[in-house]
Structure 1
Amino acid sequence: MAETKFIGNIQKELTGKYDEVTCSSSECLQLINDALLQLFNFNHDQTILDCKKALTIDKDCIMAHYLIAYSNAGHYNNLDGMDYREGYEEAEIASSLAKRITLTDWEKGLIEAQVHRFCSPVGSVPLGTLNKNYANAMRSVYSKFGENNVVVAALFAESLMNLAPWKLWTPYPEYKEGIPETGELVKVLENALKQSPQHPGLCHFYIHTMELSATPEKALPCADALRETIKDHGHLLHMASHIDMWVGHYKEATEVNELAILADKRYMLTSKVENNFYKMYRMHNFHFIVWAAMFNGQLGKSLEFAEELQEYSNLEGVTAMLGNIPFGMTYSEPTRVIIWEVLIRFGKWEDILKRPIEQNKELYPSNIAMARYARGVAYAALGKVAEAEVERDLFYESLKNKTLAKRRIMNSYMYNPETPGKCILDVADSVLNGEIEYRKGNYQQAFDHLRLAVKRDTSLVYGEPWSWLMPTRHVLGALLLEHGDVQEAEAVYRDDLIQYKDNMWSLLGLHQSLKAQNKLDEAQSVYEKYQKASVLADIKVGASCLCATKMCS
């Protein structure tokens, strides 16, 4: 028989209209609804666990098979999926059951469409082709049921998102539609959100869709909906900050990630599931809160969570992850570099020089390279040019480590000699050279290096957090100001405030550059904005980069 229960045991107002799911018992149905909410939370491992438990109650629970297949296929953050072989098998079971079990028409549509996501043998059809075929099949399902079924709308939207993860729009500053389906995706989500403005899946997917666009603020109601209604699903909570950061709400981004971290800690206490893909999302929350706190000028909070991430991704943790996540080290090891970025952001030069450097070149290539970069910047800021040049040589030596090749932060690789200038450590290269040449008095060379750093930084593949946490314009602007190039500094800060709205660092720099040009009325107006933006700062700030030591003394 079919019973109706709203998704995830949360309020009807949260999810809106939800059609019946065919199930044999209320207990089984509850598990399916919980599984679907975890699917929208991108906790696919838990979705599978819930569905397998449901199958112990009802071996013919067709939506359990459907969701297991769904969760094993690729998704926005992992197109390779978890287990396409199990996905294919479960999709076939669901398809077979659909021929002999009475189902709702929309369930049949989803099951028939999902067959197009898989092939046998696995790998015999390119994933891009499978994703395209599946999206086309889901378009047909949506045309029949999507206007009145927000779950169908959400799943169709996700099929469109998976056609071009993180490339739905062309990069800053163009923001054009990245694929022909982008406009369709926006329309599907916006129409469904009119019916169910707080639906967790719709809100999650709309945030991902609009965060890369020229108008991320359009998704702020979705961010607020998740912030206000989700309590125990950490990744959904965290998603609010993907919009917060692009509308200048750095305080809110910090707060919601703290809530997400607590939610995931509660989840861990009950689930005991540690080494799975969802661990990556838990690490992501720490990474994100550091990024946001740095924009707030919060040294204490930035250090607290950067150090906690160090512990969370220690040798035992990352090697354990490798058991269940083949590419675990690829992502987890590079996140440890953020401690160096925090120390640079807040001008902790002596702390940088005292901090131990990882010695295992096979496990920690990203950290070794960033340590050398940070030490070079620290020595340069302290006026010790010879020592900085030694660290620069060691930095270049670290780039020869072949294990760097596949390491990445979000969507940008740490280093790849085959794509010069396109990677994270290429940004470091330009900044380090700029810092050293500046201390040597070679100002034209220094600023050329730093302008290149800005170009490389802003051209990194879109990711959140941005793969380079401290905007390089903050370095360029501060040293231009210190050198007396106030007009270019003003332009640099205005550009940065377009990308990172109302950030305290560029507001300070803009105020200083305007004041230096005797533009006193605007300087005062900007200073008032700076005071508001820096209310959480726990350090004294003299420049947008503390490497401008004359301004910070």
Structure 2
Amino acid sequence: MLNTLLKTTAAAGVLTLAGAPGWAHTLDAMLEELDPATLGEVNFETSCNEQAQAAFQIGLLLLHHMMYRQSDSAFRAATEADPDCAMAQWGIAMTNFHPLWPGGPTPDEMAAGKAAVDMLSGMQIGTQREQAYVGAVKAFYSGEDLSFPVRLDAWAEKQRAVYDAYPDDIEAAAFDALAQLTVAPRGAEAVPELRDAGQRMDALRTEAPRHPGGYHYAIHAYDHPALAEMGLEVARAYDSIAPKVPHALHMPSHIFTRLGLWAESADWNARSAAAVLEQHEGETIVDHYPHAIDYSIYAHLQAGNVEAAMGLLEDLAAHLNLQDSFGSAYAMAAAPARLPLETGDWAAAAGLPTSMNPALTWERYPQAVGMRWFAVGIGAARSGDLNAARTALDELAGLREMMTERGMGYWVTLGDAQAGAIEAWVALAEGDEARARELMTTAAETEDAVGKAPVTPGHVLPARELLGDLLLELGEPDAAARAF
């Protein structure tokens, strides 16, 4: 249905798709370059005119794939086709806060989302169903000086109420699962919520077998050690509906990583990175590229392919013009640290530069900066430079204060584990074996409790692995084996 609608409305006029990297800037040209059939299928009827409806549905497809910049462009094309299309403004607002991505929107994204919500406040919203969707996105942008988690909670509550009101609405079901994942607890406590969301998306695929949310959100739901096996089939099938979408090519590696399928992870992420560069247009490379490279480097290192990981790191370093986002920042901080930490080159880890890609606004991403200081601190402590290790601890303490002020609870806790690990190795170097064991054990338990964030394939060096190393140093191979 979507393909037919697009082909019949494309001839009616030209829609500007400003800023859609790698894709044409008119709807009819876009149809030649980007076959909507390669994005999956949705069917969300709105009160907009036919041409706006066509662009809206492309935006919605891309929104479910979390291709946010391209999705934003399609929704803006819908507003040009129909200035009274309220759901296009809803779409613009939805593209700018990224529910499952850590860090929250940038100031520019927040401003763009609020501008769309302001437009909605002065528009006639067509149906009660549309009003419900608009009310949910408004909840995220309401209020001043609220933290990202507080805003997410407000959105998720309203979004889940949409599904309660419209239980037969496939889109409501998909966004309900996304909202459920957004507010699910961390660690082992998350399993019931994640399993429920995943199984509901499995059921959605039965009803709508080409709906991108049924694939994407299921993979996120099963991205947990206790559930990963349940996600393998859907992970391997995602490219059947979206063979050219960079994030769709990356997402299966979340499951491959959980299951140790390193060759598949490296291969799919290589496809994802190549798709980004192939579709790239303009000065800025979107954050799907460094994200895929970080995952691929991790996979190669787990398989012992150090040379391949080094080659990818060189490729990443050659692309400095990255999108200023947390996804880029995390990859640029973590990927170079993985190499010396995984290979035990502690002096190289201690010598990692603390000044990173100047295209990124690092004060927005203290948790990413913390990853780099953690690597430096561990490297320094394990190579005997205790003064440098203490400097790293001071830097982490300052970042902790910043993250606490911003309500970044997960990253504060993870930072505590990182600082505790450095302190443990400093204590070991000073001869205090009992304190070293206590600190490192606590760090491992803390890190285990919070798990990993979706943005990362794995911690740059897991605390429990560091505990195993420390126990080996203490001459306890059996206890070390249990830790490993």
Partner amino acid, structure 2, of 1:346: T
Partner amino acid, structure 1, of 2:237: A
Partner amino acid, structure 2, of 1:469: V
Residue matched to 2:165:
140
Whether 1:336 and 2:336 are equivalent positions in the alignment is: no
- Deviations 1:474-499 (Å, cap 9, x if unpaired)? 34435545765333233233xxxxxx
Residue matched to 2:73:
49
Q: Among 55, 64, 72, which residue is 1:31 paired with?
A: 55
Residues 273 and 236 (structure 1 numbering): CA distance in 2 closer, same or farther, change over 3 Å?
farther
Query: What is the distance in 1 between the residues matched to 2:464 and 2:309?
Result: 20
Q: What is the CA distance between 1:340 and its match in structure 2? A: 2.9
Query: What is the distance in 2 between the residues matched to 1:187 and 1:355?
Result: 43
- Deviations 1:37-66 (Å, cap 9, x if unpaired)? 221121223222112223333434454334
Query: What is the distance in 1 between the residues matched to 2:237 and 2:91?
Result: 25
Kept in 2, the 8 Å contact 1:375–1:391? The answer is yes
Residue matched to 1:474:
465
- Deviations 1:531-551 (Å, cap 9, x if unpaired)? xxxxxxxxxxxxxxxxxxxxx
Query: What is the distance in 2 between the residues matched to 1:50 and 1:154?
Result: 20
Q: What is the CA distance between 1:223 and its match in structure 2? A: 0.9
Residues 263 and 431 (structure 1 numbering): CA distance in 2 closer, same or farther, change over 3 Å?
farther
Partner amino acid, structure 2, of 1:291: Y
Q: Among 392, 396, 400, which residue is 2:393 paired with?
A: 396
Residue matched to 1:177:
192
Query: What is the distance in 2 between the residues matched to 1:139 and 1:376?
Result: 53
Query: What is the distance in 1 between the residues matched to 2:390 and 2:97?
Result: 44
Which structure has the larger Rg over C-alpha atoms? 1
Whether 1:406 and 2:395 are equivalent positions in the alignment is: no
Kept in 2, the 8 Å contact 1:88–1:120? The answer is no
SS of residue paired to 2:280: helix
Q: What is the CA distance between 1:444 and its match in structure 2? A: 5.0
- Deviations 1:414-454 (Å, cap 9, x if unpaired)? xx6xx6973433333334544x36xx5x6555544443342
- Deviations 1:444-475 (Å, cap 9, x if unpaired)? 55544443342233234531325622333334
Q: What is the CA distance between 1:376 and its match in structure 2? A: 2.9
SS of residue paired to 1:96: coil
Residue matched to 1:9:
35
Whether 1:488 and 2:479 are equivalent positions in the alignment is: yes
Q: Which runs of 5+ in 2 are unaligned?
A: 8-30
Whether 1:226 and 2:241 are equivalent positions in the alignment is: no
- The size of the alignment, in residue pairs, is 436
Whether 1:96 and 2:124 are equivalent positions in the alignment is: yes
- Deviations 1:159-215 (Å, cap 9, x if unpaired)? 4334x0xxx25414x55435xxx6763453232122234432221111112213622
- Deviations 1:484-534 (Å, cap 9, x if unpaired)? 5333233233xxxxxxxxxxxxxxxxxxxxxxxxxxxxxxxxxxxxxxxxx
Q: Which runs of 5+ in 1 are unaligned?
A: 100-107, 380-386, 494-553
Residues 158 and 122 (structure 1 numbering): CA distance in 2 closer, same or farther, change over 3 Å?
same
Residue matched to 1:429:
423
Query: What is the distance in 1 between the residues matched to 2:292 and 2:305?
Result: 16
Residue matched to 1:118:
138
Query: What is the distance in 1 between the residues matched to 2:140 and 2:251?
Result: 35
Q: What is the CA distance between 1:114 and its match in structure 2? A: 2.2
Q: What is the CA distance between 1:257 and its match in structure 2? A: 1.2
RMSD between superposed Cα atoms in Å: 4.2
Query: What is the distance in 2 between the residues matched to 1:109 and 1:211?
Result: 31
Alignment TM-score, normalising by the size of structure 2: 0.74
Residue matched to 2:284:
274
Query: What is the distance in 2 between the residues matched to 1:431 and 1:32?
Result: 55
Percentage of identical aligned residues: 17
Kept in 2, the 8 Å contact 1:161–1:209? The answer is yes
Residues 112 and 273 (structure 1 numbering): CA distance in 2 closer, same or farther, change over 3 Å?
farther
Partner amino acid, structure 1, of 2:163: M
Residue matched to 2:64:
40
Kept in 2, the 8 Å contact 1:237–1:256? The answer is yes
Residues 391 and 188 (structure 1 numbering): CA distance in 2 closer, same or farther, change over 3 Å?
same
Kept in 1, the 8 Å contact 2:136–2:155? The answer is yes
Whether 1:289 and 2:296 are equivalent positions in the alignment is: yes
Kept in 2, the 8 Å contact 1:40–1:201? The answer is yes
Partner amino acid, structure 2, of 1:259: R
Residue matched to 2:273:
261
Kept in 2, the 8 Å contact 1:169–1:212? The answer is no
SS of residue paired to 2:381: helix
Partner amino acid, structure 2, of 1:207: I
Q: What is the CA distance between 1:97 and its match in structure 2? A: 5.2
Structure ranking higher in helix proportion: 2
Residues 344 and 268 (structure 1 numbering): CA distance in 2 closer, same or farther, change over 3 Å?
same
Alignment TM-score, normalising by the size of structure 1: 0.66
